[in-house]
Amino acid sequence: MSGLFGSLFNNTQALRIRSQEIEIAGRNLQNVGNTKYARQRAMVEDAGAVNTSFGSQSLGIQITDIINMRDAVLDSQIVKEGSTFSSLEAQSKFNGYIENSLGENIDRSRDTSASELSPVSLFSSSGIMESMNNFFNAFQELSANPSIELKQNAISKTTMLTDKFHTVEQRLSSLDSDINTQINTDVQELNNLLKHIADLNKSIANVELGQTGKALDLRDKRQEALEKLAGYTNFEATASTTYPNQINITIKDASDNDVFLVQEGMNLNTISYDGTNFTIGSPAQNIKVTGGAIHGAHQARSTTLSTFRAQLDTLASQITKGVNAAYQADFFDPTGLTAATINMDAAITAASLTTSTSGDAADNDIAVAVAKVINTQFSVGGGDDIDGSIEDYYIASVTKAAQDIASTNQKLEDTTLVKQLLENRRDAAIGVSLDEEITDLVRFQKAYQASARIISIIDELLNIGINMKR
Quote the pLDDT of residue 107: 53
User: No. of H helices and E strands in the chain?
Assistant: 11, 11
Q: Does pLDDT of 122 surpass 60?
A: no
Quote the pLDDT of residue 120: 41
- What is this structure's pTM? 0.82
User: Three-state DSSP class for 208?
Assistant: coil
Quote the pLDDT of residue 373: 95
Residue 65 parent element (H or E): strand 61-68
User: Three-state DSSP class for 457?
Assistant: helix
> What residue spans define the domains of the chain?
2-69+434-469, 74-86+182-291, 119-179+298-420
Quote the pLDDT of residue 7: 72
Give 19-41 as a DSSP string: HHHHHHHHHHHHTTT-TTPPPEE
Quote the pLDDT of residue 68: 81
pLDDT tens sequence across 21-38: 888 888 888 888 888 888
pLDDT tens sequence across 325-377: 999 999 999 999 999 999 999 999 999 999 888 767 667 899 999 999 999 99
Phi, psi angles (nearest 5°) of residue 167: -65, -50
Q: What's CA 16's distance to the chain center, in Å?
A: 48
Closest CA relative to residue 267, chosen from 360, 201, 345, 338 = 201
Residues above pLDDT 90, as percent of the chain: 53
How does the average pLDDT of the chain come out, rounded? 86
Q: CA–CA separation, 408 vs 297, rounded Å?
A: 12
Once rounded to an integer, what is the mean pLDDT over residues 244-269? 89
Quote the pLDDT of residue 19: 83
**Band of residue 459 on the pLDDT scale cut at 50, 70, 90:** confident
